[in-house]
A and B are shown apart, each in its own frame.
Chain A
């Protein structure tokens, strides 16, 4: 009996091994191949945070990309196929995803990953393999310093946050503020540093700096402490999930001052979770669905028709990113040449997207303007 079991077990192990190696060795799986053999379809790999705590970001990005892909393919100038990989917000997973997309799926270019930390981990791999990679939500400092092949159309915090801080300081005559940020998130820490610098530049005193961690749910201790210091405003650098809970708790314990946030504030989810508590939240955003423009109205209508919700910044920037790739592909005249695509991407300027006029600067960062928004009665409105 025992021997029989062992044999059976060994059999199973060999079977599994065969199965897994077959899976790996499959190189370009036949199914995927037959689709991409079509007349010059460009295969673009997408690494996004599609499951786990920040899956809402990745979901928005996927929706924006899918919408853009359908429109671009309908126009017919270039054909694009998207291959999605889930990074789960995890640096190792992002590295695996980038490796797989480059070596197995043979993509011509990459979009993503969602988080700046993931980009710092996986960007160097794309750069070494000489595959263009464009972040649509990677706003931390130093992203494009990774290398020549790394681009982003995400407005860096260093450009957006000071605009929000300056506007809030002028508008509300801020003298002393408190800061809160998520200390285990690369991007939030970078946002915090930019914030602190902007406050210093504007001569605002910082009363207290409190930290928390991503996925924290209890902020009562930090906020009780901040409440006793009576600041004119609170600055928060975190993803929307934590930001919304911070706002909620703050309003609950009677902190009524404005909250200035980094990019994490910039999502309808913030309002959905925090409800009324979100009123008075200030953020600078390249994306504002209320802007008067034919292009934006059309995008919002189409997006609403397809997904039954208003696109957020993540959807809008991903939508633009795919159009940027499409025009670069068109100029490059090849759907497989990675180096040509990179060079043509670097020359993109005067691109008109839903997030406004767009160009890459010499460091492959976006040149674009932000609008400072404030939440009023559960709606993002322009702070004037």
Chain B
């Protein structure tokens, strides 16, 4: 940062994400033009940008729908994952019983679950929310349970010798200790939540980016398909950044070296 302040040299590391992104788009544009690829194979970025402008009202509406189903599903996953993670980390008996079930459940491709959700809830918003929830739930549970399961035995001895109950140990040590794992898992979970909601929208929905892309594809409107992909990427990056920021804010103590140097 001081590099920028004295104006002598350019901070390449800070600029790198933007430079690489710009580079990717330039390469893509050049390839599309150089090889004269038709728009229905690979539209150039400028064409995709044009499609975003042309179809903006539809893109905006569907983007909001996808963002809505994703965040609701994600919020449910946070609540459910935190609760089940604490439950699983609480006792070895619950852990031993539930863990294989959860692994088995997580191994089921979620796209196979969507038809069942449609039978239960009909086509639309709810299957998308539930798919996002189902797919984002697992990493949160595993991370919270891991944080609880790895309490130092000495720490537990110190407190138990003083007459601490399980509840005391959980509240004073276990739960604060699992927070870095929890907030770390949010970054993974939000990305997976997008996967879940788009899968459901592609299979069974009347709106959302997944639905829009499917409709555009059936009309050979490939620039609009790519416009949907770009919007998904933008939403994904934004939400990831929000989660990373929350992680930094909430568990700064876990990034010791970073804090120790300030």
Same complex: no
Residues of chain B at the chain A interface (Cβ within 8 Å): none
